């Protein structure tokens, strides 16, 4: 009965984007440190209908809520709260080229919405260029990324 109630209220998203979150490291020693937790997920964007979350503020709130819940829930994360100022953001296109942003601002958000490229969230000192050949990146891109 509960499942039917949920499905009754389900609204098809206008767009879906994939993300890969890598916990920040104080010092990046390898392309991905052993002490870094990570998660793969997706976000739905609604820009038509009665519910909309297509503003930067709504997007940030939703993403922070999801990531902070995961940080508190899963033991493999060292930090328990997330501050987006500690991270940088990469938008990955279909050829695996990465466009980096130091902050999640309106320019970043407009490019994300315009392109529907995939999102990587990593610590400020993380080298995304080295990471592109790692099994974790390749698995995420193959299985989860929008193409």
70 in a domain, yes or no? yes
Percent of the chain with pLDDT over 70: 99
Neighbours of 30 (CB within 10 A): 12
CB of 123 closer than 8 Å to CB of 88:
yes
How far is the C-alpha of 111 from the C-alpha of 25, rounded, in Å?
27
Structural domain boundaries, residue 106: 12-143
16 in a domain, yes or no? yes
How far is the C-alpha of 42 from the C-alpha of 45, rounded, in Å?
10
* Model confidence pLDDT, tens digit, residues 62-76: 899 999 999 999 988
pTM > 0.85: yes
3 in a domain, yes or no? no
CB of 91 closer than 8 Å to CB of 115:
yes
How far is the C-alpha of 24 from the C-alpha of 66, rounded, in Å?
17
3-state helix, strand, coil in the chain (%, to 5): 35, 20, 45
As for how many domains the chain has, the answer is: 1
Listing DSSP states for 38-64 in one string gives EEEEEEEE--SSS----SHHHHHHHHH
1 in a domain, yes or no? no
6 in a domain, yes or no? no
Region of poorest pLDDT, from 7-16, 38-47, 129-138: 7-16
Considering the chain, what is the average pLDDT of its residues? 89
Categorise residue 96: left if φ over 0, alpha if ψ from -120 to 50, beta otherwise.
left
2 in a domain, yes or no? no
Burial annotation 80-118 (CB, 10 A radius, 16+ → b, else e): eebeeeebbbbbbeeeeebeebeebeeebbeebeeebbb
* Model confidence pLDDT, tens digit, residues 78-119: 888 899 999 999 999 988 999 999 999 999 999 988 887 799
Which CATH number characterizes residue 30's domain?
A: 3.10.20
121 in a domain, yes or no? yes
134 in a domain, yes or no? yes
């Amino acid at each position: 009965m509960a499942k039917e109630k949920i499905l009754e209220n389900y609204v098809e998203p206008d767009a879906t984007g994939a993300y890969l979150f890598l916990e920040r490291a104080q010092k990046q020693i390898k392309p991905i440190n052993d002490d870094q937790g990570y998660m793969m997920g997706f976000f739905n964007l609604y820009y038509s209908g009665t519910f909309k979350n297509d503003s930067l503020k709504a997007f940030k709130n939703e993403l922070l809520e999801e990531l902070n819940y995961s940080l508190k829930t899963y033991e493999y994360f060292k930090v328990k709260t997330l501050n987006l100022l500690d991270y940088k953001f990469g938008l990955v296109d279909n050829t695996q080229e990465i466009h980096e942003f130091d902050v999640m601002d309106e320019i970043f958000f407009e490019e994300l919405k315009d392109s529907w490229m995939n999102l990587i969230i990593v610590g400020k000192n993380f080298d995304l260029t080295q990471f592109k050949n790692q099994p974790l990146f390749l698995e995420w891109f193959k299985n989860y990324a929008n193409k």
